Structure 1
Amino acid sequence: MFKFASRVLLKPLTALLICFAMQTSTALATPVERADWQAVFAKYDAVGTIVVFDQRGNEVKEWVYNTDRAKQRFSPASTYKVPHSLFALDANIVTDELQVFKWDGIERSFAPHNQDQTLRSAMQYSALWVFDIFAKQLGEAKAQQYLTKINYGNADPSIASNGSYWVDGKLAISATEQIKFLQALYQNQLPFKQADQLLVKDLMINETGKDWILHAKTGWQGRYGWWVGWVEWPTGPVFFALNIDTPNRLQDLDKRQAITLDILTSIDASPMSS
């Protein structure tokens, strides 16, 4: 199973990003259902959905597998770190990608979490404890204001018990809504400073090639997992939002990328085949 390289790419990529063509983000009225993609999910013994929005060239295409599930809202889990970073930057809880958050000394199961973090490393390693700091400093009322402002899922940051509201709380978003959020971020159309949106997009970079950049974020709630993002090509972006059940927990996590890459390959949009 492939693994992404971690790179610090802000300055080299800035010029490349500017050179890529910007496309409109008007969604098609009726996405095309791709029943044939069920074979890909079956190949990996997975149940779920994927939405793909292809803005390369002049003809915009939108495809979906499992339309009903694509409209169903789930906890965003760690995909929420993308908008959460924007909230923290806007509220001056974090000033830039270099600000250090001191490790609290609590040993966690994933070793990279057990160290000081920056915004970049917290995104790369999906360090939950850093974002818990953001949530505490923002407070529920301010978080709800931000969520409502960007029309993010049900915009409900409340939680019935201890935990992180984007994992264990009421906050929920659909795959279709994930795509809309990513499109707005891609075009710097969210109600935040352009510099902050550019930084967050850079923090999402997983891998780069000669003529493509892969921006993506995983998420895992325990019962289901996400992989959302886009592949940026010279002719435009290809957005994706995948959500699958994870009954085998950790054993199912690699399926998120594998299914998505197979589907992107089927439409000649996989970065790994370029």
Structure 2
Amino acid sequence: MHRRHLLLLATALPLPTLAAAKPRPDWSALFAAANAQGTIVVVDARQGQEGSYVHNPARADQRLSPASTFKVAHSLVALDAGLLRDEFQVVPWDGVQRSVPAWNQDQTLRSAMRQSTVWVFEGFARQLGEAREAAYLRAMGYGNALASGAAPFWVEGDLAISANEQVAFLQCLYRNELPFAVAHQRLVKDVMVAEAGPDWILRAKTGWSGQVGWWVGWVEWPTGPVFFALNIDTPQRMADLPKRIDITRQVLRTLKALPPV
């Protein structure tokens, strides 16, 4: 969809309403074993195995900073607004030395997503401005749709989204139902690929606000997808970050949504 049309949308995209999720007490043991406080929402849409599951349902409704998980939505915005042509366009490095060595070079959408290169997306935000960013957020129905506050607004500012809303957003992306060109949605899904096996593909994105860590995405199987969104507190900061993926993988294996180790 052309950006002019998207920005004219006056009401938020109605994201799918998740079915009542079944609590999974066995998942509580996985969080406890990792000494982690958080939530995970899983929607299993595989044929014959459909179901919604949750650990800590109250927290699953709590809106938190999306941190770098917002790069999924932000990539769609950058493509729609014409800031990027495709995944091959080079975004020149500004020469500023940053703490992550992989960030200190030219980037593409694929490398910026894989390495979570913050400065690339900060550049998109500057070019778009708060009003246009907020219009896109409202059109997508993304969380509280606020592009205000400290920069970057998806980490330090006012933007917030719940685990349930993350899963609903991902379901729309999977089905190419967001208010963007289907080609752009397919492209973003392609750069989200994190891992694959003979008959499955894992598409996912991490995020970390400094206080809360995320891992969101889905696993595609021939019989359908399994969506997930996890967030945990990170009082030990970077030492806690591996728990995001470790807990999620264990959860998904309880549903046979990932192969055994």
TM-score scaled by length of structure 2: 0.92
Give the equivalent residue in structure 1 for 2:86.
96
1:40 to 2:30 alignment: yes
1:133 equivalent in structure 2: 123
Q: Which residue of 2 aligns with 1:5?
A: none
Partner in structure 2 of residue 199 of structure 1: 187
Equivalent in the alignment of 1:31: 21
The answer to whether structure 1 residue 77 and structure 2 residue 67 are counterparts is yes
Cα distance in 1 between the residues matched to 2:83 and 2:110? 15
- Match of 1:46, SS state, is coil
- Matched with 1:120 is 110
Instruction: Tell me the distance in 2 between the aligned counterparts of 1:131 and 1:259.
Output: 28
Contact 2:193 / 2:202 at 8 angstroms: preserved in 1? yes
Tell me if structure 2 keeps the 8 A contact 1:28–1:61.
Answer: no
Of 120-129 and 28-37, deviating more is 28-37
**3-state secondary structure, aligned to 1:139:** helix
**One-letter amino acid of the structure 1 residue matched with residue 217 of structure 2:** G
Tell me, what secondary structure is at the counterpart of 2:71?
Answer: helix
Q: Given the alignment of the two structures, is residue 54 of structure 1 paired with residue 38 of structure 2, yes or no? A: no
Q: Give the deviation of 1:201 after TM superposition.
A: 0.2
**Aligned-partner Cα distance in 1 for 2:18–2:168:** 12
The CA distance in 2 between the partners of 1:229 and 1:30, in whole Å, is 20
Tell me, in whole angstroms, the C-alpha distance in 2 between the residues paired with 1:157 and 1:42. Answer: 35
For residue 4 of structure 1, what is the aligned residue in structure 2?
Answer: none
Runs of 4+, deviation exceeding 6 Å: none
Contact kept in structure 2, 1:213 and 1:233, CA below 8 Å: yes
For 1:207, give the aligned amino acid: E
CA contact (8 A) 2:88 2:109 kept: yes
SS in 2 for 1:167: coil
Give unmatched runs, 5+ long, in structure 1: 1-24
Are residues 119 and 135 of structure 1, via their aligned partners in 2, closer, same or farther at CA, if it must alter by over 3 Å? same
Distance 1:114-1:233 versus aligned 2 partners, 3 A rule: same
List aligned pairs for 1:194-273, cutoff 5 A. Answer: 194-271=182-259, 273=260
Deviation at 1:29, TM superposition (A): 3.5
TM-score between the two structures when normalised by the length of structure 1: 0.88
Equivalent residues, number? 247
Choose from 180, 190, 198 the match for 2:178: 190
Taking the aligned partners of 1:225 and 1:143, their CA distance within structure 2 comes to 23
> Per-residue deviation at 1:58?
3.7
**TM-superposition CA deviations, 1:36-57 (whole Å, max 9, x none):** 2110001111000000000011
Unmatched tracts of structure 2, length 5 or more: 1-14
**Residue identity opposite 1:254 in structure 2:** P
- AA in 1 matched with 2:250: D
RMSD: 1.3
Distance 1:91 1:36 in 2: 44
Q: Which amino acid aligns with 2:156?
A: D
TM-superposed deviation, 1:27: 5.1
**Structure 1 counterpart of 2:23, one-letter code:** E
Percent of paired sites with the same residue: 58
Give the secondary-structure state (helix, strand or coil) at the position aligned to 1:50: strand
* CA distances 1:18-77 after superposition (whole Å, capped 9, x unpaired): xxxxxxx96553210112211000111100000000001144200000000000000000
Change (3 A) 1:233 1:105: same
Partner AA of 1:256 in structure 2: R
